[in-house]
Amino acid sequence: MSAVNVTNVAVLGNPSSFQSPFQFEISYECVAALKEDLEWKLIYVGSAEDETYDQLLESVFVGPVNVGTYRFVLQADPPDPARIRAEDIIGVTVLLLTCSYVGQEFVRIGYYVNNDYDDEKLREQPPQTVLIDKIRRNILTDKPRVTKFPINFHPENCETGEQAPPPGNVSEADGNEALPPDGNEEQVPSPKNGSDKGGS
């Protein structure tokens, strides 16, 4: 059983311009106190064929992790278009929201993102040079793809004989049913700056 469950993710300010920051309001519950902070990451997939074009938009550590329900807003800068191939800027790509504990990723939420010109004439006759300031970004929030990975939330217990969960036991779900709204009273954790932004 996971010690942390994501109960809801709301995408704020969507749709928006390509150059606008990303904002995700994340709600989650902790059913067991953890010694270390949670690490949340937001990754922009720059190319479906080559992961070297992926961009780590934000990495933030959030804690303390005590029993209870929590909510915070993760904000990240938009991707650097100079690091995306011109032919991959317009069209559909993927945005990944992940959460890890002591370097172990235990949940990944993927959203399709549609980038297109907000002007009908530009859509019908795209210019040879991509006009970044004319692109509208729309995150498709109705069916996020949620993948959960079993991890050991208490690695310190390995010394006392507790075994880590077996690898390969991954569960996946499509749609909001994996992220039910949470009506309980929530606490606001303290985000802390994580690792430097860069390619993942």
- Per-residue pLDDT of 52-79, as tens digits, reads 999 999 999 998 899 999 999 999 999 9
User: With 90 as the cut, is the pLDDT of residue 177 above it?
Assistant: no
Partners of 190 in beta bridges: 63
* Under 8 Å between Cβ of 109 and 69: no
Contact by Cβ (8 Å): 42, 99: no
Mean pLDDT of 83-102: 95
pLDDT value, residue 172: 53
- Return mean pLDDT, the chain: 84
Instruction: Name residue 12's amino acid.
Output: L
In this prediction, residues 15-34 reach a mean pLDDT of 96
| Residue 149 pLDDT exceeds 90 | yes
Give the residue with greater pLDDT, 18 vs 168. 18
Identify the CATH number of the domain defined by range 4-184.
2.60.40.1490
Strands 135-148, 171-174: pairing is: antiparallel
Find tokens 């009506």 and name the residue.
183
State residue 24's pLDDT score.
98
Please state, for a pLDDT cut of 90, what percent of the chain lies above it.
71
Tokens of 104: 């172990």
The token duo for 152 is 């050991």
List the Cα angle 68/71/74 in 5-degree steps. Answer: 140
Tell me the percentage of the chain whose pLDDT exceeds 70. Answer: 77
The predicted structure's pLDDT at residue 154 = 84
Single-letter residue type at 26: I
pLDDT of amino acid 158: 57
**pTM for this one?**
0.80
Tokens coding 111 = 């959203």
Confidence of residue 4 (pLDDT cuts 50, 70, 90): very high
